[in-house]
Structures are given as structure tokens and as C-alpha cells.
Amino acid sequence: MKTGLFVYAALFAATVVQAHDASHDVVKNVSPVSNPESTPDVVKRMLKSIKHNDVKPFPQPEPTTLSEKAGVKFKPELHITNGCASYPFVNAAGEIGGGLENRGSSDGQCKGSGHGSQVYGRSDWYNNKWAIMYFFYFPKDSPSHLIGRSHGFEQAIVWLENPATSTSVLAVSLTKGLKYSKKVGPDLKYLNGTSVKLSYERAGPLRSHVLRLTEKAGDSLPLIMWEQLPQVARDAVNAFRSEGDKVPISDSEFVEELGKAWPFK
């Protein structure tokens, strides 16, 4: 009798474990952000960088989903006030721009790629608002000679009520060092239709660059959304590190950045 009870208990425990595992798998499958541990270690070991001005951008794909259409509709304009021009970060082969050392003038060797530039987008629901992150890459963030760093990451997060029906921007959050500046209900002077106008500029003398709202018109760069990138490109972005920092649009950072950028009380 004791043996029978033991066998029954063991079978019941195994069933519970299997059910728990199955439930856990379902949760993982429906998560909007991939498990960062899914990036193979081999990708990190084989991550290849090329010259920053050799990275070719993706043509802007025709949007087909609601999120892609909203991404195009609310894509910001970028005006370079000082510092490097923006560059493509990753190409179709998963090769990453190698960046530049913080030497020379703030725009030395980075006045623009002959291939054109790129803005990368990623979107999702966050606290019942629709958030679109627009990520810009700069080969260096160097306000002056030997001051700054290689690889500059800047992002603007546009907040909407709904990707399907929104006709206006609720708020915008812009990178400001390790934090965000936040503006709820941006003034019309900072908008061109549904596009927020951004300036890339020094935060002050000998200080790193930031994004700020501007009245000046800027460039509308080809947009590619995260899900439109080939897997090899997403793997490369997920695996990339610069002085320990990860890419804000990557799987491991995206949701955390939305939390930092949350503009509503």
C-alpha cells in the first residue's frame, strides 16, 4: 500500500512539474520581448564590426502592420546641430559599425556616410500607452578632443494612446545622459505634422550630446522596425556591448528603457 501511494505521489508530482513547465513556456511565447539569454554565445564570440562608413542602411520597408504604420507616421525628424552625423548601426549581414575614437573635432571623420543613414524603431504597449522607441546611432560622442566616447546611442520615445487610431503625440521622452527629458503634450512648434522635430547637440560646454526638441526642420531617415530586421541583425544588436553598455533597443534593455522614460504621473 505504501509503495502504491509513493508511486501515485511521484506521478502526481511529475504531472504538476510538467504542467508548470508548459505554463511557463506559454508565458515565454507570448512575451513581447524575447528572452535575452536566447542570443547564442557563439554570436557574441563571432560578432563582426566593420568601418563605420561601410555600413549600408536598409531601405525603408513598406509598412503592413498597425505598429509599422504607426512607426512611419510618427517618425521624428533629426537635425544635427553639432557633433557627428547619424549613421547606420547594423547591416543585413549582421555586421556592426566599428565606431570612432574620441579624437579630433566633434564631427571629425563622421560628417555623414555616403550610403545614407538609418533610424531603428521598436514599439509595444507600456502601462496602457503605446510607446515607439526611435533609436539613432553615432560613431562617437565627443564634445571635444579626447573627451567623450566611441559609439553614441540616442533615442526618442513617442507615446500614443493607440497605434491604430492616434492622430497626435501624447508625450515624447528624449535621452539626456543616463536619464530622459520628458515633455507631455509637445508644442506644435516642435512638430511637423505628426513628426517630432529633434536636435542632436551638446548638453553644454565639454558635455556629451543629447536629443532636444527644436523648431528647426530636420531629416526624415529611412526607418526599419525591430521585427523587420533579419534575425542575424537582431542577434548582433542584442550581443553588442560598448564599455559595458548594451543597445537600448535590444531585447534586454527595451522594456527597462520604457520604464525610465515614462512621462506620465
Largest CA distance in the chain: 84
In a domain, 116, yes or no: yes
Contact 126, 262 (CB under 8 A): yes
| Residue ranges, the chain, pLDDT below 50 | 1-40, 42
In a domain, 139, yes or no: yes
Question: Rounded distance, CA 150 to CA 116, Å?
Answer: 20
Looking at residue 243, what is its pLDDT?
A: 83
Cell 536636435 found at: 199
Return the amino acid letter for 214. Answer: T
In a domain, 254, yes or no: yes
Q: How many domains does the chain contain in total? A: 1
DSSP 90: B
In a domain, 83, yes or no: yes
Looking at residue 206, what is its pLDDT?
A: 72
Q: Kindly report the pTM of this predicted structure.
A: 0.83
Looking at residue 204, what is its pLDDT?
A: 82
Looking at residue 22, what is its pLDDT?
A: 33
Looking at residue 8, what is its pLDDT?
A: 38
Q: What values do phi and psi take at 100, rounded to 5? A: -135, 155
In a domain, 7, yes or no: no
In a domain, 177, yes or no: yes
176 strand-pairing partners: 179
Runs of H (alpha helix) within the chain: 2-30, 41-46, 66-73, 231-239, 254-261
In a domain, 241, yes or no: yes
Q: What Cα–Cα distance (Å) separates residue 53 from each residue in 112, 114, 116?
A: 8, 7, 9
Looking at residue 63, what is its pLDDT?
A: 98
> Range of 126's domain?
31-261
Cα 198–chain centre separation: 16
In a 13 Å sphere around the CA of 243, the CA atoms on its Cβ side amount to 9
Q: What is the DSSP string of 140-202?
A: EEEEETTEEEEEEEEEEEEEES-TTT--S--EEEEEETTEEEEEES--GGGEETTEEEEEEEE
